[in-house]
Amino acid sequence: MLKIYHNNRCRKSREGLEILENSGQDFEIVNYLENPPSKQELKDILTKLGLTPIQLIRKNEKVWKEDFKGKELSDDELLEAMIEHPKLIERPIVLKGDSAVLGRPPENILGLL
């Protein structure tokens, strides 16, 4: 089953959700701002995406600029920052089994369908 880590306030995330809705496939929506992934879930997502923690960070977010920008942070510290401030997590993320894509652009999701 597909799973989308979704933020309804994000246009790209809404576009990604629309692609899933139009696919006719079953999927689960995770509102990660209300239910942030655990550290292990983030590690699993990163493995599936083939990314490092810094590559999943939204660096234009106010909290990043004010609290983290310019600091040397370990991967573990970056994971903790994403858990504490889920707004920092790039979105949408769509998982299917052992595969995942970052829906930026949303058309990336089509590769999982």
Per-residue pLDDT, averaged over 35-58, amounts to: 97
For residue 102, what are the β-bridge partners? 93
pLDDT-derived band at 106, boundaries 50, 70, 90? very high
Average pLDDT, the chain: 97
How high is the pLDDT of residue 112? Answer: 94
Q: Which of 4, 10, 17, 93 is catalytic?
A: 10
Phi-psi group of 34: left, alpha or beta (phi > 0 → left; psi -120 to 50 → alpha; rest → beta) = alpha
The CA distance from 25 to 72, in Å, is 42
Q: pLDDT (tens digit, 9 = 90+) per residue, 63-91?
A: 999 999 999 999 999 999 999 999 999 99
Which CATH number do you get for residue 82? 3.40.30.10
Which position has the token pair 């923690």? 53
Q: What is the percent of the chain with per-residue pLDDT over 90, rounded to a whole number?
A: 100
Per-residue pLDDT, averaged over 8-16, amounts to: 96
How high is the pLDDT of residue 11? Answer: 96
Is 93 assigned a catalytic role? no
Q: Do residues 19 and 106 lie in contact, with contact meaning Cβ atoms separated by under 8 Å?
A: yes
CA-nearest of 15, 48, 16 to 4 is 16
Domains held by the chain: number: 1
pTM of the model: 0.94
Which position has the token pair 């990043």? 64
Q: Which domain holds residue 71?
A: 2-112
How high is the pLDDT of residue 54? Answer: 98
